[in-house]
Structure 1
């Protein structure tokens, strides 16, 4: 495992107080150029996925909508027709499963697919309706004898821990839960809060989504600050973060960490740790605008092409590229 928390915090203070000699903060123009190279590939992959499959995918619908909504807010041109298609594709996939949600069976992908789909609709500004209330009802019943929600499958890194699943379920219940469901939502979220507080993270993924869950839950600021500092302390010498202690830095871990830290409000975009992370993403971006991350998941679905590079590594690579692009977007200085 990584160093102890005390050692990590000392390292954090030593390494991240200032940029090292010869280091410079990434230029906003360079950041914008990296974003502009990435967006078309993410749009291509989302369009390709929607064309090839009627089902919803986390990596090609949810994350594409996240990237494109953030990019649009910051003045980047996007394909609005494709953006709407991803939203409609998501809504249609949920609607096809309406009776299954009402019966408590849900769709393939279980709580992961259900909560990621609702996250996509949240990002798009969709209002609650009969379909979303059926999905939240299903999520409330799912794993009701447990103190958190269990992932439907194990596909590292993004589905390697129940922290990811539980975070997105909590977010879905907070946003789409009906008035009638509120007593049950309150009880289940209180249980999940205790679970997250007791969690001893074993991976970067668990640390990232513990922090993100703390932001959704009624957790004191001191705990949020502590887990943020611990994440910063795990930064590698090259400026990136790794999925596991024995692995090298990659765009997936780095992107998810930077987004979590920037969303937490505990670390400013100008902080040296953030600047180093952003520089790592710029340096590791390939000339075609993509990021390549090797897949660690055992494939169980039929492979199909979406148009994103890197062959059978494309699903984790587009996921990594999406998180990396959002991190770059969040790191841009405010204009005006």
Structure 2
């Protein structure tokens, strides 16, 4: 097996800023087995789908697979089946407009995970898409939970819903989808984000709808918030600390939407921050901002009561590192 890596560039002042190819590769490889362990542990303890323990790790793992990294294919298949089974349990609730716990955000994350994993539209994905476009008067999608940063923002719920209806919407839903897309575009253009999570998903949403000029403006504003350590903080204010959740999500979004290149100094500084904050066991640690309301369990990801936000942070960090255009080739 050989590894081909696109160079991250040279010529930066200060070798400590420039992450080496081997460091990036090593960080990804250390993270993969821990994310896999997390999905297995989450499914063992939770019969339902979760955004932090299923969607985010699986999205990171299938991105790693696209880049040629070896992942446990049986595990991915099991997590997709787990998610689909959970959606089917909620079938009647989606049909009558109630949805499942977690509302639009949960439904959106589930379909985003399936989309990234290459799942083809079927009956249940069409039903969930119908739930997302049921309210013809709404101009965006709201979150009915308060678990920041992952599950609280209408920007997050709106982007995930837009991706879901674009990928899994049915022909019968076409007019409602077009109407919701038009309204969501105006909402995203006019609504001011409050923190990094919202800035990230505003950019992704505007990009999804083709509002490239406004997305570029929002991206430049977000880049201005990069800190001296190369990272981003979740919340505004000089007293806030950079963390891998915010930093990973920013780098992923800006690379995916084309607002950063692998040669950009700001991207490389962000990678440096992620590499330096990864623990020896392959994890990243972020302090939770959410009040616990579910029974505690050990998912397999470290950091105790901070494990759920940390596994999401580890997923974002891995996704960001993978945006350095690493490709592993199998002979």
Shorter-chain TM band: over 0.9
Is 1:30 the equivalent of 2:23?
A: yes
How far apart are the structure 1 equivalents of 2:96 and 2:301? 37
How far apart are the structure 1 equivalents of 2:193 and 2:82? 35
Partner secondary structure for residue 141 of structure 1: coil
How far apart are the structure 2 equivalents of 1:126 and 1:44? 22
Deviating 4+ runs (over 3 angstroms): 18-24, 332-336
Which of 298, 309, 320 lines up with 2:313 in the alignment? Answer: 320
Q: Which residue of 2 aligns with 1:43?
A: 36
| 1:274-328 Cα distance to aligned partner (Å, 9 max, x none) | 0000000000001111000000001111111111000010000000000000100
Which of 88, 92, 113 lines up with 1:95 in the alignment? Answer: 88
Q: Which sits farther off after the overlay, 223-232 or 172-181?
A: 223-232
The within-5 A match list for 1:120-199 is 120-142=113-135, 144-199=136-191
How far apart are the structure 1 equivalents of 2:68 and 2:173? 38
Whether the aligned pair in 2 keeps the contact of 1:28 and 1:332 (CA below 8 Å) is no
Q: Which sits farther off after the overlay, 269-278 or 226-235?
A: 226-235
Which of 180, 183, 204 lines up with 1:212 in the alignment? Answer: 204
Which of 101, 108, 111 lines up with 1:115 in the alignment? Answer: 108
Deviation at 1:61, TM superposition (A): 1.1
Deviation at 1:182, TM superposition (A): 0.6
| 1:241-296 Cα distance to aligned partner (Å, 9 max, x none) | 00012310000000000001100112101200000000000000011110000000
Partner secondary structure for residue 181 of structure 1: helix
Deviation at 1:238, TM superposition (A): 0.3
Q: Which residue of 2 aligns with 1:222?
A: 213
How far apart are the structure 1 equivalents of 2:14 and 2:91? 58
Whether the aligned pair in 2 keeps the contact of 1:31 and 1:332 (CA below 8 Å) is no
Deviation at 1:72, TM superposition (A): 1.1
Deviation at 1:332, TM superposition (A): 3.4
Deviation at 1:20, TM superposition (A): 3.9
Whether the aligned pair in 1 keeps the contact of 2:68 and 2:327 (CA below 8 Å) is no
Q: Which residue of 2 aligns with 1:13?
A: none
How far apart are the structure 1 equivalents of 2:302 and 2:233? 21
Considering Cα pairs closer than 8 Å and 6+ residues apart, tell me whether 1 or 2 has the greater RCO: 2
How far apart are the structure 2 equivalents of 1:141 and 1:163? 19
Q: Which residue of 1 aligns with 2:282?
A: 289
Deviation at 1:333, TM superposition (A): 4.4
How far apart are the structure 2 equivalents of 1:160 and 1:299? 14
* TM-score, reference length from structure 1: 0.91
How far apart are the structure 2 equivalents of 1:224 and 1:211? 5
Whether the aligned pair in 1 keeps the contact of 2:144 and 2:152 (CA below 8 Å) is no
How far apart are the structure 1 equivalents of 2:165 and 2:269? 35
* TM-score, reference length from structure 2: 0.92
Structure 2 unaligned runs (5+)?
1-10
Is 1:240 the equivalent of 2:241?
A: no
Whether the aligned pair in 2 keeps the contact of 1:90 and 1:120 (CA below 8 Å) is no
Q: Which residue of 1 aligns with 2:245?
A: 252
Whether the aligned pair in 2 keeps the contact of 1:163 and 1:209 (CA below 8 Å) is yes
Deviation at 1:159, TM superposition (A): 2.1
Deviation at 1:200, TM superposition (A): 1.4
Q: Which residue of 2 aligns with 1:277?
A: 270
How far apart are the structure 2 equivalents of 1:264 and 1:127? 24
How far apart are the structure 1 equivalents of 2:129 and 2:145? 20
Deviation at 1:161, TM superposition (A): 1.6
Is 1:231 the equivalent of 2:222?
A: yes
| 1:138-162 Cα distance to aligned partner (Å, 9 max, x none) | 11124x4331111021111112321
